[in-house]
Structure 1
Amino acid sequence: MTSFFLKRLDELKTSATNMAALCEKALEKAQRGYFERDTGLAKEIMAGDEQINLLELEVDQSALRLLALDHPMAKDLRYIVGTLNIGLDLERVGDESYNIARRSLFLSSRPPLPYFPAMENLGRTAMEMLSGAISAYLNDNPDLAVEICRMDEKASTDSVKAIKALIDYMVHEAPTIERCVHSIFIARSLKRIADLSTNIAESVIFITQGVNIKASCQR
């Protein structure tokens, strides 16, 4: 039973690791597609979303099988439950990356907007949070997870600045309203990814320390 349990646990870890890698790559490519107006990257992200969804199903099924058949305890139980939650958050990251890519396709077919530093700052923060949260999960690093949680305030500030910059611009440039609205939705997707990264970090703290902090950065 122990060897079977370890084999199934390893399968869960493999599926979650593969899913995390795809989501991290999806966000990186989605941002490049937006900032570089690269339609090829945007289409690539949209085509690859199904693979992320399939891996989320693998994580879900593997976790539920372990819970039902092996009755894990202590950290093994926390790992399985935490990974189940992380799989759901990663699937939503994939969805938000898809949304960014879809709106980028529209924007790339229209005249470019001016460069908004606040948008790039928000994208950089979201990417850093997602990469950090994934690293914390893969390396059982609660200290890094706490750092990611604490970055959520910065993500909120970056989001407000980006959206304000876009609103201020379209108020004075009426022909750009539609393009600015699409960019505002992209900013909201980036902020949502930052929020999902915070959720992942909280799950890491639950797995490693057995503490459910729920939107709090304290351990």
Structure 2
Amino acid sequence: MIKYKILIVDDEQGIVTMLKDYFEFHGYRVYTAMSGAEALKEINSKPDIILLDINMPDMDGLDVCRRIRDHVSCPIVFLTARIDETDAIIGFQSGGDDYVVKPFKLGELGARVEAHLRRENRGDSSSTAKFFDSLAINYDKRQVSYQDKEIPLTKKEFDIVELLTRNPGQVFDKERIYEVIWGYDGEGNSSIIVEHIRRIRKKFMEYTEKNYIETVWGIGYKWEN
């Protein structure tokens, strides 16, 4: 029985073969691509998650992510030989959900993939919608709208809004937001959270002057009722 469909994109044959063997052994249907152009074609396979190498010669992973992000909602995990604060921010701005640094342990990568897929399929028995004045949050459809006009958010941006709106008034520090949204105790960089909050606020400001996400200086953020 096939568990999930995974697309692996890397220009190193050895890595592609290793990952393909690993995920097929664990019940995945595996699609592969060794270039950005091939990756764009394989998107038609409708993968549940994508592992995407950043450093590729013809079209790097960031460009691939930018081109497909508006058309696929599945998690995109970057594979990279190095990562610093600037690289991480650029990756998340491109629409990525996570990154794994090479060389990596297969078991750790497999667990990371499973965690993303579990969150994609998580059920929620609480209310399906909340309203804050003219702002509506539909958790089933994963939509935010203001006076019936949808505010386009990326997956991670909505995840942050969902966390804050389900706990209005509660203060979350940046590290806690990272842990909840990304789902593991990694070395979350607070700049990543700051950038996501900045983008959410910028999108909200196109529809309303009210600042729903309040900064609690020296601590973190909370949703204003």
The structure in which a higher percent of residues are strand is 2
Q: Which has the higher contact order (CA 8 A, sep 6+)?
A: 1
The structure in which a higher percent of residues are helix is 1
What TM-score comes out, normalization by structure 2 length?
A: 0.29
What TM-score comes out, normalization by structure 1 length?
A: 0.29
